[in-house]
Structure 1
Amino acid sequence: MTDFDLLVVGELNADVIVACGAVRPAFGQVEDIVDDARIVLGSSGAITACGAARLGAHVAMAGVVGDDWLGEFVLARLRERGVDTRYCVVRPGRRTGMSIVLGAGGDRSTLTFPGEIGRLAADDVPPGARNAAGHVHVSSYFLQYDLWAGLPGLLRAVRDRGATTSVDPNWDPGRQFTHGLPELLPLLDYLLPNEAEALRITGRDTVGQAAADIAARGACAVVKRGGDGALAHHPDGTVRTVDAPRVEPLETTGAGDSFNAGFLATLAAGGDLTAALRTASACGALSTQGRGGTAAQPTADRAREVAHTLTVGTTTADGSETA
């Protein structure tokens, strides 16, 4: 018996979401008017935690904020969504991270002030936290530089007691896409990159090749493909694909994190990989109907309603296919 379905270990920050419309940022002492701007809860980890909690999972968060008003804002928003913050660390004299997200035409550019984003170490996650969860998910691996050295030991401890693990690598601002991640794959049940990240991590030319490489190292590769849905390549050679709901995105921040939330919450509730992929694809798409990562995250009923309309195709290791 565990206290939490899910422990999210990762970065915490706020987002400033700017809807640019037709405006493109320009230097030279110019000023332009944009369609909308707001401060919301950000970070891959927090968005995943909130999405899973909204779907009914019992979720705890381990991360670091500064002792500023922005840190108070982040922790308050997590608690409002039902996420347990007892394992979050408030660092005296430090500043909470912030990302400025410029969105236009379904695309976005992100500028991040790290603050305490990368300052969570494995020792900051007490044994009681990792022992209380049925699944431990690590968000934004490439931003978590203080976590890299101690994470293998943390994940081994989690798996030794029979719990499961996952990592969402997110984009590497250093453009290296390594930092010990390949060596970590045998300790993961799931790696959850998007398509661009999977290609950069593996150096392969196609998403199918990239997923196969990840699975060969021991982790189930769950690759997010936006409007093309997603695929999961299991280490046993089985490949599942799911389509995506047809929606017109209002703003795409955190869509991949809401996908993570649907995937992990479904598994925590006893669903299989097929059900998890359907729910994840539904959650990712529905989250784009609001501004900010958590504004439009669906309830369990709404996610199930959309998930049931999606098709999963399966190809087994021997090449046979089923729908």
Structure 2
Amino acid sequence: MTRILVAGDANLDLVLRGDVRPRFGQAEQLLDGADLVLGSSAGICAAGLARLGVDTALVARVGDDLFGARTRELLTASGVDCSAVSTVDAPTGISVILSAPEDRSILTLAGAISGLTGEEVLRAATNATHVHFASSFLVPALTAQLPEVMAELRRRGVTTSLDTNWDPDERWHGIAECLPLTDVLLPNAAEAIALARAQGETASDAETAARALAARGPLVVVKDGAAGGLAVADGEVLRAPGLDVQVTDTTGAGDSFDAGFLAAWTAGMAMIECLHRAAAAGSLSTRGAGGTGGQATDAEIDAALAAGRAAVGARWEGVRGPEEPSGAS
């Protein structure tokens, strides 16, 4: 049986929609919507995995406050095992998401998140078959220990994946040492390019960056927004399109993509199927507010992929490179 442990951040998101570009000078702006929902890359991915029927646990830190209690409540309601989520003497982290249709800005207080350690992860990973690490730069204590933690997990026969998210300092320190020890690297397109450049590579597009990163060891799977995603496996580039859905909120879509991919990959599915399921999971998650409001079940992904195959035909399966259809629904 697969048991995935997700390690990283746990917090709420305050998602604001509408006229969200701040204008200072004490200007008051009216919003179209505001939701206080389960946030965090690790939390959203864990909830997505649980919704897909995967036995999932989370190791993270929250504070002894209202936000911490609500974070734990929402994770538990999603089916995530929170026995390794510890309560510490620090405020629970929170992110304020300024969500516009074409983009978003994220303001984060790390708070309790940042103190998570490698020792906590290894202790929580006793029964795990896979460990997914999220939000590297919000958990600096863990990231400093990550090569040793990953090496120990590999020694135990546990596979690993890494979604660093964006580095607020844009230095990407500590990631180069992790790449040879990571089974699956899951950046978005901008992160892939920045990560490749941080390794001294010349990369101006996601595919070039993914190839350069894959040469350092991991299977590289890149999230590419509405275009879906691509993977570099054994030197070959595979692509899967996003779905045509009515978008409510793109917050956490990449984390739901991660969940869709990892659920399929740890189940031993073919790489192109893993990629299609990931792209579908990411697309479908945008139907609801916040990162978990629209997360898909296995049945919903099955139905969406069946419709896509019917619409596109034989080209749907395993198309390589730029010929992949870009708008299947």
Q: Which AA in structure 2 matches 1:291?
A: A
Contact 1:233 1:240 in 2 (8 A): yes
Counterpart of 1:206? 205
Counterpart of 1:291? 289
Counterpart of 1:90? 87
For the aligned residues, what is the CA RMSD? 1.8
Task: Classify the secondary structure of the residue corresponding to 1:27.
Answer: coil
Deviation digits for residues 97-142 of structure 1 (CA, Å, limit 9, x no counterpart):
0000011123111111111122111012243x22311110000112
Contact 1:12 1:63 in 2 (8 A): yes
Contact 1:5 1:268 in 2 (8 A): no
Q: Measure, in 2, the Cα distance between the counterparts of 1:77 and 1:6.
A: 18
Instruction: Indicate which of 3, 7, 14 corresponds to 1:9.
Output: 7
Counterpart of 1:217? 216
Q: Which AA in structure 1 matches 2:101?
A: G
Q: CA 1:101–1:23 in 2, change beyond 3 Å: closer, same or farther?
A: closer
Deviation digits for residues 286-318 of structure 1 (CA, Å, limit 9, x no counterpart):
0001110000001110011113426353559xx
Q: Which AA in structure 2 matches 1:150?
A: Q
Q: Which AA in structure 1 matches 2:176?
A: P
Counterpart of 1:313? 318
Any residues of structure 2 matched to 1:1-323 within 5 Å, and which?
A: 5-20=3-18, 22=19, 24-92=21-89, 94-127=90-123, 129-176=124-171, 178-203=172-197, 204-234=203-233, 236-308=234-306, 309=308, 311-315=316-320
Q: CA 1:322–1:229 in 2, change beyond 3 Å: closer, same or farther?
A: closer
Point out where structure 2 has 5 or more consecutive residues left out of the alignment: 198-202, 310-315
Q: Which AA in structure 1 matches 2:191?
A: E
Q: Measure, in 1, the Cα distance between the counterparts of 2:217 and 2:145.
A: 20
Which range moves more in the overlay, 302-311 or 154-163? 302-311
Task: Classify the secondary structure of the residue corresponding to 2:160.
Answer: strand
Contact 2:272 2:318 in 1 (8 A): no
Q: Measure, in 2, the Cα distance between the counterparts of 1:188 and 1:312.
A: 27
Deviation digits for residues 162-191 of structure 1 (CA, Å, limit 9, x no counterpart):
221100011111111x21101111101110
Deviation digits for residues 250-293 of structure 1 (CA, Å, limit 9, x no counterpart):
11000000000100111233322222111110010000011100
Q: Measure, in 2, the Cα distance between the counterparts of 1:226 and 1:147.
A: 28
Q: Which AA in structure 1 matches 2:5?
A: L
Task: Classify the secondary structure of the residue corresponding to 1:87.
Answer: strand
Contact 2:238 2:318 in 1 (8 A): yes
Counterpart of 2:313? none
Contact 1:281 1:307 in 2 (8 A): no
Contact 2:61 2:88 in 1 (8 A): yes
Task: Classify the secondary structure of the residue corresponding to 1:85.
Answer: strand
Q: Which AA in structure 2 matches 1:206?
A: D
Deviation digits for residues 137-173 of structure 1 (CA, Å, limit 9, x no counterpart):
0001122211122211211121112221100011111
Task: Classify the secondary structure of the residue corresponding to 1:182.
Answer: coil
Q: Measure, in 1, the Cα distance between the counterparts of 2:93 and 2:324.
A: 46
Q: Which AA in structure 2 matches 1:124?
A: E
Number of matched pairs: 312
Contact 2:10 2:40 in 1 (8 A): yes
Q: Which AA in structure 1 matches 2:218?
A: A
Which range moves more in the overlay, 8-17 or 25-34? 25-34
- Give the alignment's TM-score, normalised by structure 1: 0.92
Q: CA 1:91–1:267 in 2, change beyond 3 Å: closer, same or farther?
A: same
Runs in 1 of length 4+ with deviation above 3 angstroms? 312-316
